[in-house]
Structure 1
Amino acid sequence: MRRRTPLPDSLVGRAFSIEEAREAGVSPARLSGNDLSTPHRGVRAPAGERTHGQRREDYTVRIVNGEYFSHITAAELFGVPLPAELLAGPVHVSMFRPQRARQVRGVIHHELEPRGQLAGHVSGVPVLHPAFVWVQLAGLLSLDDLIIAGDFLVTGSEPFDERPPLTTIDELRSAVAQAPGSRGIRAARAALEEIRYGCLSPQETRLRLLIERAGLPAPELNHRIYDERGSLVAMLDGAFPEHFVGYEYMGDHHRTKKSTYRNDMLRRARVEDLGWSQLDISSDDLELRPLETLARIARRLHSAGATLRPIEYGVDARKRRR
């Protein structure tokens, strides 16, 4: 069996144009090897299943001036939490009229009316501004997934590392105002009412929404607890400081990683030593027994002296508050 000629190191593991390959000395025969695929005309990429991000990279090789990644593809580039089924779909690219969209296999092109939308580059990749991308997502996501995306965009990782988020709630509002009549605009307006700075994961957002829609007090997010010496003891996912009640959403990594589990136990002990009551909430608590979870939170608050109205739960309660 004849040994395959290795590709130059500069081309290994990524998409590249035929012109780039020829300049690097790759023969036409090598470009036909079964270890390479042809995602687009004039482009080669590693063969096999490609993630959405990799398919975006494939198209980046042949993107033209005036095209910007948008919709799901831009959101994936920003790191927005998205349903897996959407990431299995085509790459999305937008351009502004009067430019005309091209027809390219595996890519959905959108022609946009210029309405002051902002665009730029992320790591050298042309992309629409996150606020305008969020408005585009309104036509593709459920209400709660749209709120999760909004929470991510206006929060990022700033509560942990002080890195500024990708956009602000005011910028989301401005983007909505510039897109009257666009697909999903009513969902975008509804989501704006429930987006908040502070949630650091999709499940934290879902838990916050469960609490707030039930009519319980809105939790303070990422509440920091200090000891008598002023040292940080914990940053709780959500808290009701006036009643010394807080909660932590416990993802599976809290259980499967031994050091994390032990640190969680120590932190909880220190929090409770300072007079706090901490609830640990799992995905099952959130997804399988939400009413029981709400009742647990309500009991802790009531025991701490909070005056609560009856808990509401479900779509009807959410609509009434709108």
Structure 2
Amino acid sequence: MAQVFIGSEALAAGRVNRYQLANTHQRVFPDVYAPRGDLTLLDRTTAAWLWSGRQATVTGRAAAALHGAKWVDADIPIELNFANNRSPRGVVTRRETLLGQEVTSRGGLPVTTVARTAFDLARRGTRRSGIADLDALADATRFPIGDVLTLADAHPHLRGVRRLPSMLEAVDAGAQSPRETYLRLDLIDAGFPRPQTQIPVARPNGRWYYLDMGWPEIRVAVEYDGEHHRTSRTAYTIDVERQDYLIAIGWIVVRVLADHWRTDVISRAQRAWDARTRRAAS
């Protein structure tokens, strides 16, 4: 983590001089600086909070990351609950009611609680990106859906509250990446029953394989293969052995890559589904 600081404070304290600010540091937000180099999401979140004069509460995806959610890009806009409509580029401010029990602390920063963070994520953005964000937060925290729904009673007039139940109903903590979330939603939108995620399959050595998603009652699985499956020789070898074993014990595995067309993935899943359901009916 870089040392992020308020420039005017550091100058007044003699910790840096103007030459150092201009030549060995980078301006992150107005009057907020850090040493030159790449900044993490935590660095940028801290910088946004400092820009607010240490008054804001971190919300949204940055708050989710502070609670441990993975797959949050380092360059996302930092969302703050703060009364300022002239925020710099890279900061989004909103002025919404936050009750005392909806604010906590993570990493020394004031941040919305897990439940309030989920409440905000469910109300904003597109359906697919919102569910992916909620999946990541659920994976990290296993937040109770009921706790989030309760917040709707306290904030009935906030924008997006009406879609809260449908968004939360779609959440699945078993998703291991946004791509897996999108794949699950594609299958559901195509008319398939909601797939189970992280399906355990016993291995001969007493260990387990976990399939991304599928329908264990008919032994059909759909799995998303990330780039490491193709770039790592070790991962590729393990995948071949895993696939052979699953086929040997009766599973049909539909493997999906990033460049596969959605229509093709759905067609392949449908063929696997039809093959198994026809066999069960005969």
TM-score for the superposition, normalised by structure 1: 0.72
* Residue 48 of structure 2: aligned partner: 59
Cα distance 1:31–1:94, how it changes in 2: closer, same or farther (>3 A)?
same
Say yes or no: does 1:178 pair with 2:154: yes
In the alignment, which residue of structure 2 is the partner of 1:284? 259
Aligned CA distance change for structure 1 residues 277 and 109 (closer, same or farther; 3 Å): closer
C-alpha spacing 1:41/1:280, structure 2 compared with 1 (3 Å):
closer
Match of 1:203 in 2: 179
Q: Does 1:119 align with 2:108?
A: no
**Alignment-derived partner of residue 235 in structure 2:** 260
| Partner amino acid, structure 2, of 1:207 | L
Residues 142-180 of structure 1: per-residue CA shift (max 9 Å, x gap): 011111111121223xxxxxxxx2523222222334321
Instruction: Give the match for residue 314 of structure 1.
Output: none
Pairing 1:15–2:4 present = yes
Whole-Å Cα distance in 1 between the matches of residues 177 and 118 of structure 2? 17
Find out whether 1:92 has 2:79 as its counterpart: yes
In structure 1, C-alpha distance between the alignment counterparts of 2:107 and 2:278, rounded to whole Å:
49
**Letter of the structure 2 residue corresponding to residue 169 of structure 1:** I
Alignment check: 8 A CA contact 1:224 1:232 kept: no
Quick one: distance in 2 between partners of 1:75 and 1:26? 33
What secondary structure does 1:26 align onto? Answer: coil
> SS state of the match for residue 277, structure 2?
coil
Structure 1 residues 110 and 80 mapped into 2: Cα distance closer, same or farther (>3 Å)?
farther
Distance in 1 (alpha carbons) for counterparts of 2:268 and 2:195: 15
RMSD between superposed Cα atoms in Å: 3.2
1:219 aligns with 2:203: no
Aligned residue among 48, 59, 77 for 1:70 = 59
**Deviations along 1:186-217, whole A, 9 cap, x unmatched?**
33333123222311111111111111222222
Q: Is the 8 A contact 2:122 2:168 kept in 1?
A: no
Does structure 2 conserve the Cα–Cα contact (< 8 Å) formed by 1:31 and 1:44?
no
Contact 1:254 1:261 in 2 (8 A): yes
AA aligned to 1:222 is Q
Structure 2 letter corresponding to 1:241: P
Cα distance between partner residues in 2 of 1:129 and 1:291: 39
Change (3 A) 1:206 1:306: farther
Query: Match of 1:7?
Result: none
Cα separation, 2, equivalents of 1:33 and 1:71: 32
**Residue matched to 2:275:** 303
Mapped to 1, the partners of 2:258 and 2:3 lie a distance apart of 37
Structure ID, larger Rg = 1
- What is the CA deviation profile of residues 90-142 of structure 1, one whole-angstrom value per residue up to 9, with x for unaligned ones? x33226xxxxx367752544333345652111122210113222332345410
Query: Which residues of structure 2 form unaligned runs of 5+?
Result: none
Residue 167, structure 1, aligned to residue 156, structure 2: no
Q: 1:62 to 1:296 in 2, by over 3 A?
A: closer
The counterpart of 1:143, out of the listed 111, 127, 141, is: 127
Q: SS state of the match for residue 135, structure 1?
A: helix
SS of aligned partner of 1:242: coil
Q: State whether residues 176 and 189 of structure 1, in contact with CA within 8 Å, keep that contact through their aligned partners in structure 2.
A: no
Provide closer, same or farther for how the CA distance between residues 80 and 171 of structure 1 changes in structure 2, counting only shifts above 3 A.
farther
CA contact (8 A) 2:64 2:137 kept: no
Partners of 2:232 and 2:221 in 1: CA distance: 23
CA distance, structure 2, for counterparts of residue 123 and residue 83 of structure 1: 18
Q: Which runs of 4+ in 1 moved over 6 A?
A: none
Match runs of 1:1-12 below 5 Å: none
How far, CA to CA, are the matches of 1:68 and 1:204 in structure 2?
30
How many residues in Structure 1 have an aligned counterpart in Structure 2? 276
2:122–2:131 CA contact under 8 A, matched in 1:
no
